């Protein structure tokens, strides 16, 4: 059970680390999952309160077991998103993304290879942190300009 919560915590960190840029929406599914997870974290408590209050004010409409089932289902949606993001953050980048990752890292380090780039294989969390730094340095459209200065 502790492993599950570690993955959810890692997903929360990945959610906070992933940059919220519109240009990444068509490149990575992570952007969409992060958007919908953030949305569900904000909206789901309202729906749970609405379902519970409907049961209090109109008890003939819903029974308590069905109300609790719907509330538990709704509370599970953000947890499912965080779990998916946690699993994704720990997975290795595919070989197709490695040259792109190395190019961005090389551009950020001003063409100085500090060594050890490939000592450990980068993960999606490393890519998220790198993209966050790159967007901070290069502006919102650094992918089009390919300049990070």
Domain ranges of the chain: 1-90, 92-149
Average pLDDT over residues 56-81: 92
Residue 68 tokens, joined: 């609790």
Reduced to 3 states, what is the DSSP secondary structure of residue 25? coil
Q: What tens digit of pLDDT does each residue of 26-64 get?
A: 889 999 999 999 999 999 999 999 999 999 998 888 889
Average pLDDT over residues 98-126: 74
* CB atoms closer than 10 angstroms to residue 25: 13
Sign of CA dihedral 126, 23, 103, 131: negative
pTM over 0.85: no
Residue 6 tokens, joined: 């570690």
Is 79:9 a contact under the CB 8 Å cutoff?
no
- Least confident range from 38-42, 86-90, 117-121, 145-149: namely 145-149
pLDDT at 6 over 70: yes
Reduced to 3 states, what is the DSSP secondary structure of residue 91? coil
Residue 144 tokens, joined: 């089009």
State how far the alpha carbon of 140 is from the alpha carbons of 15, 71, 77, 108, 146, in Å: 19, 38, 30, 15, 11
Residue 89 tokens, joined: 């953050």
């Amino acid at each position: 059970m502790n492993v599950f919560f570690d993955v959810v915590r890692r997903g929360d960190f990945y959610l906070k680390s992933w940059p919220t840029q519109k240009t990444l929406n068509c490149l990575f599914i992570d952007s969409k999952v992060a958007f919908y997870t953030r949305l569900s974290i904000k909206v789901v408590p309202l729906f749970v309160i609405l379902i519970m209050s409907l049961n209090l004010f109109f008890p003939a409409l819903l029974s308590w077991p069905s109300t609790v089932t719907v509330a538990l289902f709704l509370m599970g949606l953000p947890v499912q998103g965080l779990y998916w993001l946690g699993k994704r953050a720990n997975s290795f980048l595919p070989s197709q993304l490695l040259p792109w990752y190395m190019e961005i890292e090389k551009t950020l380090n001003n063409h100085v290879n500090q060594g050890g780039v490939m000592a450990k294989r980068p993960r999606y969390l490393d890519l998220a942190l790198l993209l966050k730094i790159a967007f901070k340095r290069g502006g919102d459209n650094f992918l089009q300009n390919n300049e990070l200065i």
